[in-house]
């Protein structure tokens, strides 16, 4: 199946839902630096998926998926802190952690599938030391 638009990517769809959940959940949180960090990390997941797709090469897409996966792990780490600081309930933690875990698994699957393809759409730029 060929992906025609980044909106078709399941990981992006799920990251979008996660981001909306986090914005809603922390809307009233007065720890502004915490709130900003977890929200920016969740936005980073969906934006790196879409930006990587938009680059038009499997190699770039894969690189941006790795970045999105890193942001996914950052959200997980922030969720632990949110639970420890009692900003969220255990139920909220479990729900959001499961969502980030699922997104991470999907991203890893996409990365693996791109690693199996050897036909990259772009070539590395030629660099000359004589220039």
For residue 86, what are its two tokens? 């009692």
Band of pLDDT at residue 127, cut at 50, 70 and 90: very low
Judge whether residue 49 has pLDDT over 60. Answer: yes
**Collapsing DSSP states into helix, strand and coil, what is residue 31?**
coil
Note the pLDDT of residue 1. 62
Tell me the Cα Rg of the chain: 17
Judge whether residue 24 has pLDDT over 50. Answer: yes
pTM of the model: 0.86
Alpha carbons 72 and 122: distance in angstroms, whole number: 27
Judge whether residue 37 has pLDDT over 80. Answer: yes
Residue ranges and CATH numbers for the domains of the chain are 32-116 (1.20.1440.60)
Per-residue pLDDT tens over the stretch 55-87: 999 999 999 999 999 999 999 999 999 999 999
Per-residue pLDDT tens over the stretch 84-123: 999 999 999 999 999 999 999 999 999 999 988 644 443 3
């Amino acid at each position: 199946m060929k992906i025609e638009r980044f909106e078709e990517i399941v990981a992006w769809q799920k990251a979008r839902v996660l981001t909306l959940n986090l914005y809603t959940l922390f809307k009233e949180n007065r720890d502004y630096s915490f709130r900003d960090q977890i929200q920016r990390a969740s936005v980073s997941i969906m934006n790196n998926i879409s930006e990587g797709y938009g680059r038009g090469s499997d190699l770039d897409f894969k690189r941006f998926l790795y970045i999105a996966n890193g942001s996914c792990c950052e959200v997980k780490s922030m969720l632990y802190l949110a639970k420890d600081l009692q900003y969220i309930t255990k139920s909220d933690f479990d729900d959001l952690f499961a969502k980030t875990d699922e997104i991470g698994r999907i991203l890893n699957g996409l990365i693996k599938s791109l690693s199996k393809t050897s036909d990259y759409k772009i070539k590395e730029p030629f660099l000359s030391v004589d220039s």
